[in-house]
Amino acid sequence: MDSIVVKGGKPLNGKIAIAGAKNAALTLMPATLLSEEPLTLTNAPRLSDIKTMTALLQSLGVEVTSMQGGKVQVMSSHDMTSTTADYEIVRKMRASNLVLGPLLARHHKATVSLPGGCAIGARPMDIHTTALEAMGAEIELKDGYLHAVAKGGLKGAVVKLRFASVGATENVLMAATLAKGTTVIENAAREPEIVDLADCLRRMGAQIEGDGSSRIEIQGVDRLGAATHPVVTDRIELGTYMLAPVFTGGEVECLGGRLSLVTSFVEKLEMAGVDVTETPDGLKVKRSNGRPRAVNVTTEPFPGFPTDLQAQMMAMLCIAEGTSVLEEKIFENRFMHAPELIRMGADIEVHGGTATVHGVDRMKGAPVMATDLRASVSLILAGLAAEGETVVNRVYHLDRGYEHVEEKLGAVGAQIERVSDRDG
């Protein structure tokens, strides 16, 4: 089993190219199920989750061709053979549930296993099923599978989500493109990945208005066609690498970054004394003299502070001057990285969904264990600032969401390498 070994204390300088968004690509790929004609994605990230989604689509009979080392994905659903998403694939990744809406929309039936994924909370499917039932689907849970049928096809409806769920918004948005009549999604998620999906669907011929707001209106069409679409920049990878020079000193330019993707995150960085400058090619980040300052953070749906940057921010606040309070309001059980940071000398108290972080002068390298995707990279970042060597074990989580971390950080001066069998 691979581990990442980090030797801290070296400033970082240079440029890091930010990949296409994992969460966007995993939504865009199921959109191919809506059309018989090819969908081509450019700027696709090269991650294990993308391989899992590819395997799922192939199990349904979708032809998937990977080009340019995986950065271009060409998919065709002209000759599908199944509408069943099997447990053995779906259990590996929660985003697998995003085939439910497209299958119902085009084929009027779907059998989809309840999803798996990382251990950061329940993330229930009922918000998805309730919304699709409002559009005329009949859905039954049996033996761990959702058995869904839309006799005569889905119908337009007013769908009010009880929570601004990104996944449910995406599922309904895709389903509504081929539904009869008009669908309105109220309390829709507003994330950039939603806007990216809507842009792609419009390229395919969908009629969508209001994406990026809490009310999205979709006029159903008879069919969708071929399209080529560039995957939006990964705002979570962007935020992660923006933090790197804050731990170490130096100056890093994140290529492809845009302030509009990380506005609330940048606000907190600037409060902490970090300089962020927009350039023609991306965002340039450097730490002001000395340690960063403590700030309070509350995770919220977009455009609020992203839950997927909470672990990385906590790691940074471990070395900040003063006391910070982080409130996690999106997912329960998402402070599992705190005990591992404490092993490195951090001073953190966790009570339910709140963590209080008392900044320390320095962290010390230690063997630590990754518990989920974002926790993995938070420990690597902490290792960049720690004295001595940090060994992050069980980094298979990391490969689900970050491509070539050791290469990207190594290219700007980090002492980091991947090794095998440190954790047996």
97 annotated as ligand-binding: no
In sign, the C-alpha dihedral spanning 342, 348, 349, 351 is: negative
3-state secondary structure of 234: coil
Nearest 10 degrees: CA dihedral of 367, 48, 328, 301? Answer: 160
Question: Is 296 known to sit in a ligand binding site?
Answer: no
Distance CA 60, CA 181 (A): 28
118 as an active site residue: the answer is yes
Q: What is the dihedral of CA 273, 384, 261, 289, to 10 degrees?
A: 20
CA atoms within 13 A on the CB side of 81: 8
Which residue among 118, 200, 254, 318 is the active-site one?
118
Q: Is 308 annotated as a binding residue?
A: yes
Is 22 annotated as contributing to ligand binding?
Answer: yes
Amino acid identity of residue 289, one-letter, is: N
- What is the spatial distance between Cα 389 and Cα 411, in angstroms, rounded to a whole number? 19
Work out whether the CA dihedral 209, 213, 217, 220 comes out positive or negative.
positive
- Whether the Cβ atoms of residue 405 and residue 4 lie closer than 8 Å to each other: yes
Q: Does the annotation place 46 within a ligand binding site?
A: no
CA distance 211 to 226: 21
Exposure pattern of 295-332 as b/e (b: 16+ CB <10 Å)?
Answer: bebbbebbbbbbbbbbbbbbbbbbbbbeebebebebbe
Q: Is the dihedral of CA 374, 377, 382, 388 positive or negative?
A: positive
Partners of 78 in the β-ladder: none
Q: 281 near 310, Cβ under 8 Å? A: no
Binding residues for phosphoenolpyruvate: 22-23
Binding residues for UDP-N-acetyl-alpha-D-glucosamine: 94, 308, 330
Binding residues: 22-23, 94, 308, 330
Catalytic residues: 118
